[in-house]
Each structure stands twice: as structure tokens, then as C-alpha cells.
Amino acid sequence: MLLYVDTQYTSPYAMSVFVVLQEKTTPFLMETVDLGNSENKEPEYAATSLTQRIPTLIHNDFALSESSAITEYLHEILSGPPLYPLEPRTRARARQMQAWLRSDLVSIRQERPTEVIFYGHVGKPLSEQAQADAAKLFAVTNALLSSESENLFGSWCIADVDLALMLNRLIMHGDSVPEHLASYARHQWERSSVQLWVNQERPPL
Ligand SMILES: N[C@@H](CCC(=O)N[C@@H](CS)C(=O)NCC(=O)O)C(=O)O
């Protein structure tokens, strides 16, 4: 397998697929695409990825982009620990979280880009809209995360990593986050598969 990721290793979507491949202990190669130089728009890559985005996974003669489509594909074809809950409604809930984290909370994503997490970038205080997004993030997490659990759905799943990354946009910037949610995010961040991504050697921005 071959995984295309961004040159700075800051894409939360590339990270999600990378973590899954690590969790499955699947051997894979990784190549970087320089988005700043529009390498993703070069004809060969564009034709391969279909959407001109990273991450893109190549599996033999099959290429796929869109991170949650990739992780669902890997869940179906690879043996090893499950990436999603097995019970259909809980699995649907995990997919709902992944879709929501990729489509909502725009102000948090804009004002606390992942450079905050991986490069120590410092931004301005959160706008009112970002504060409203943060309140929504906390409410959704509180609704799903029971106080005695370290994971959203009992056992670990890939949505835990996606959620921890969203919380870490705030936590690692020093924005106010309820302690039990910060503790959940810290626990998720300690996973060795996550640490392998965190510790990638990054070029200067
Ligand atoms: N929903 C997509 C988002 C992927 C995405 O936005 N990738 C960005 C980098 S983080 C990208 O490739 N941007 C280049 C572009 O869209 O031209 C996923 O989950 O994979």
C-alpha cells in the first residue's frame, strides 16, 4: 500500500488514515505531496486521487481519496483490531462523528489550524463564532462520552482520534477546555500509532 500525505504532516485527514494503517500493523509506503506548490493538481496525481486531495491511498490497482472512505475501506479489507464499533448503530454513530468533524466547526478549524498542534502556532483569541463552535464541540462530546470511559464507544475506534485532534486544536493552544475532555484527548494522544504521526520530522513552515 502507498499513502500520499502532505509535506508538513499537518493534515488531520492524512493522520487519520496513517493511524489506521499503524493500528492494523499493515506495511505501507508513504509519499509526501507539496500542496503549497500545487503538486496535488499535477495531472498524474490529479488523475490518481480523483479529487486532487490528500490523503490518497493506493492499494494495488485501486486508488481512493477522502479519509473516512479510506478508513472504512481498510476496516473492511484488513484483519486485525476493528477500526469501527461492530454493532451497526454504534458504528453508524462513529461514522456520524467522523462526518460531522469533517464538515462542521469551521471557525475552530480556521482559527486553530493543525499548525497549532504540530508547529506550536499561536493565534488570536477565539472569535464569538469559534467560541460557539467550541461550546457545541464540548456538548456533543459530553453527550457521547460517559464519565468512566476513555473512549467514545467503549473500545477504541478511529473516531476517537479524529475527536481528540479537534479538541487538541484548542487544548494545545491553551484555550479553555473542560478537564475531563482534556484528559480524554490526552489519553487518545498517547496511543503509539498517534505518536508516530506526531513525531514525524517536519520541514520548517
Ligand atoms: N474530506 C477530505 C478532506 C481532505 C482535505 O481537505 N485535504 C486537504 C489537505 S488537509 C487537501 O488536499 N487540500 C488540497 C486541495 O483541496 O486542493 C478527507 O477527509 O480526506
3-state class (DSSP) for residue 63: strand
Give Rg (Cα) of the chain.
Answer: 17
- Give a yes or no: residue 198 inside a domain: no
Q: Where does a domain end: 48, 81, 114?
A: 81
Q: Whose CA is nearest to atom 12 of ligand 1?
A: 53
Task: Quote the cell numbers at residue 122.
Answer: 499561536
- The answer to whether the CB of 67 falls within 8 A of the CB of 103 is no
The 8-class DSSP code of residue 174 comes to T
Ligand 1 atom closest to Cα of residue 53? 12
CA 90/CA 153 separation, integer angstroms: 7
Tens digit of each residue's pLDDT (9 = 90 or more) over 109-167: 999 999 999 999 999 999 999 999 999 999 999 999 987 789 999 999 999 999 999 99
CATH code (residue 16): 3.40.30.10
Q: Confirm or reject: Cβ of 54 under 6 Å from ligand 1.
A: yes
Q: Confirm or reject: Cβ of 109 under 6 Å from ligand 1.
A: no
In the chain the beta strands, taken as DSSP E runs, fall at: 2-6, 29-33, 56-59, 62-65
Task: Quote the cell numbers at residue 162.
Answer: 479524529
Task: Quote the cell numbers at residue 96.
Answer: 456520524
CA of 141 to the centre of ligand 1 (A): 24
Number of domains forming the structure of the chain:
2
Query: Global pTM?
Result: 0.97
CA of 53 to the centre of ligand 1 (A): 5
- The answer to whether the CB of 77 falls within 8 A of the CB of 68 is no
Residue 8 exposure: Cα atoms within 13 Å on the Cβ side: 15
Residues 164 and 103 in one domain: yes
Model confidence at 15, pLDDT cuts 50, 70, 90, reads: very high
Per the structure, the complete domain to which residue 131 belongs is given by 88-193
Q: Confirm or reject: Cβ of 35 under 6 Å from ligand 1.
A: yes
CATH code (residue 103): 1.20.1050.10
Ligand 1 atom closest to Cα of residue 12? 10
